[in-house]
Amino acid sequence: MSVTRRVALVTGAAGGLGQEFAVALAARGHRVAGLDLADMSETAERVAGLDGSPPFHPVRADVADPGEVDAAVEEVAARYGGLQIVVNNAGIYPPIPFEKTEPEEWRRIMRVNLDGPFLVTRAALAHLKAAGWGRVVNIVSAVIFLGPPDLVAYTASKAGLVGFTRALASAVGPYGITVNAIAPGLTRTATAARTTGADGGFERVRALQDVPAVEEPADLVSTLLYVCDEGSGFLTGQTINVDGGSAKH
């Protein structure tokens, strides 16, 4: 199958879903850059192991810092001569009882999970418009449908990102740009294991699913490639739930 080669930027590309997304886009033939504060050498090594794939370009930046984001996006666009795909994947989800959530912790979660996609997309938008084609993909969470009691701030931030997805889709549709959200369930990553417990959290969530398996990063790849596909230009403003059936939306 012939695939048009695009330039993609994936935030939070050092590990977990972000790394899997970066590798999948590179395997499809796209030129991929990653934006993260953590070391992305493992992602670069995985991309380098793909036959004929362009090298992965890591950029160290904080998604919540406007100056760093603007500089990172310009670096990527200058290196590759443009930018057409943005995957807003970086996020944090500390489980905190609502009564113990301090204002600064609330603001930190909102800065990374909601301000980050705003800043990255705002910086990238001129390049997507110039291309006359674009895909913005926001990674949200199935918790927006379930409302777990220990993730009030996280759920609020991801619900806000769904609203951002819908409104932005209306704003940029005339430019050939689509904006969609993917809502994973609890996915087995190193970060999730540290946050929820290596076994208990995954087993508890698996019991709520129709598919009796723990979700893995690779389970999200086909959905990402679908929304980024050349043929998905009529899909926009949507939230696609990929959680094994724990929430029926």
The answer to whether 72 and 61 have CB atoms below 8 angstroms apart is yes
Respond yes or no: is residue 154 known to be catalytic: yes
The answer to whether 141 and 158 have CB atoms below 8 angstroms apart is yes
Q: H/E/C letters for each residue in 13-60?
A: CCCHHHHHHHHHHHHCCCEEEEEECCCCHHHHHHHHCCCCCCCCEEEE
Residue 29, by phi and psi: left (phi above 0), alpha (psi -120 to 50) or beta? left
Question: Hey, is 45 helix, strand or coil?
Answer: helix
Please provide the size of the chain in residues. 249
- CA separation for the pair 53, 25 (Å, rounded): 10
Q: Which helix (H) or strand (E) holds 231?
A: none
Question: Hey, is 36 helix, strand or coil?
Answer: strand
Q: Which residue among 80, 154, 175, 226 is the active-site one?
A: 154
Residue spans of beta strands (DSSP E) within the chain: 7-11, 31-36, 57-60, 85-88, 134-139, 177-184, 239-242
Give catalytic residue positions.
154
